[in-house]
Amino acid sequence: MVIVVAYDWRSRSWRWWLEPGGGQSDFVLHLPGGAPFAIEKGTHQRGGEPPGRGAMYVVTFREGGEERRWEGHVVELNLDHSERVYGRALSADEILGSWRGRALPVDSESNERGPGEGDGEEVQRELAAAFDAVNLYDLYRSMRALRAKLQRLNDHPERQRALLVGRPDSVMALARLASGDGAVPVVRYLVLRELCGVMRAWDALLDEALVGRVEELASDARARTRGRLSEELGAERGAADAMLGWFEDRLSEIDGVKR
């Protein structure tokens, strides 16, 4: 028997390929966290929730009148679409600093474990919760440096793409940190608005769904910002849309100057 079991992050689905050996039959696939089900020869697919880190699958089958069992590791496909932390989780400050040329520390108080060790998702949640402390002056300096860096890499699209979606200090990594529902939604909105501009500018290198995901996160952050503004205005909450629109118009004017 030859079998490969994978989870595709882009389509959020399970995929498997089975080639039975001689005299083998009655194959049943046990995916992590799900009920077992019968499978047949060939390539197949079904939707489902993503597996945990380092997940295993099990296949039971009959051969020579006996029931047998096979275990294997789940393969993950299209990792660009995954929101899982692979390797060392970085803080927003570390990501922004790296774009300005600051070397990433080997360790930090927020993540004392080395790459690939420990619960990266837990560390990522802690870093996302602390996101509201982002310094906006550093943000705009870093965005300018990032755009300049991407321009210098025009002859190396694979390196550009890694900086956008593939590295621990990528644009997508910062967008995921900014996506939480923090106490200061306007900070998250400003960050995601800038990241949207970068993703659109280099969208020819990217899967359209990735660009759309950052735009979706920015839209959600904008809605939370509008909601907070409306609460603070109280009796004048009807002016929230006009105030937010005025603010965005001023930012757009600055964007035009920067270009």
pLDDT digits 0-9 by tens, 32-53: 988 999 999 999 999 999 988 8
- What letter represents residue 137's amino acid? Y
Looking at domain 2-77, its CATH superfamily turns out to be Immunoglobulins (2.60.40.10)
**What's residue 106's pLDDT?**
60
| Rounded-to-integer distance, Cα 116 and Cα 26, Å | 37
| Residue 122 confidence class, pLDDT cut points 50, 70, 90 | low
For residue 42, the model assigns a pLDDT of 95
- Give the per-residue pLDDT at 118: 43
The fraction of the chain above a pLDDT of 70, given in percent, is 84
Q: Give the rounded distance of the alpha carbon of 123 from its chain centre.
A: 15
128 neighbors 138 (Cβ within 8 angstroms)? no
Any idea where the domains of the chain sit in the sequence?
2-77, 92-107+116-258
More confident residue, 2 or 80: 2
DSSP-assigned letters across all residues of the chain: -EEEEEEETTTTEEEEEEEPPTTEEEEEEE-TTS--EE--SEEEEEE-PPPPTT-EEEEEEEETTEEEEEEEEPEEE-GGG--S--S----HHHHHHHHTTPPPPS-BTTB-S-TT-S-HHHHHHHHHHTGGG--HHHHHHHHHHHHHHHHHTTT-HHHHHIIIIISTTSHHHHHHHHTS--S-HHHHHHHHHHHHHHHHHTGGGS-HHHHHHHHHHHHHHHHHHHHHHHHHHGGGGGGHHHHHHHHHHHHHHHHHHH-
Paired tokens of 182: 């923090």
Instruction: Please give the Cα distance from 171 to 225 (Å, whole number).
Output: 21
| Token pair recorded at residue 192 | 């995601």
pLDDT at residue 145, as a whole number: 94
Instruction: Return mean pLDDT, the chain.
Output: 84
117 has pLDDT over 60: no
Q: What is the mean pLDDT of residues 104-125?
A: 52
Could you tell me if 48 and 34 are in contact, meaning their C-beta atoms sit under 8 angstroms apart?
A: yes
The pLDDT value recorded for residue 44 is 96
pLDDT band (50, 70, 90) for residue 109: very low
| 255 compared with 86, residue with greater pLDDT | 86
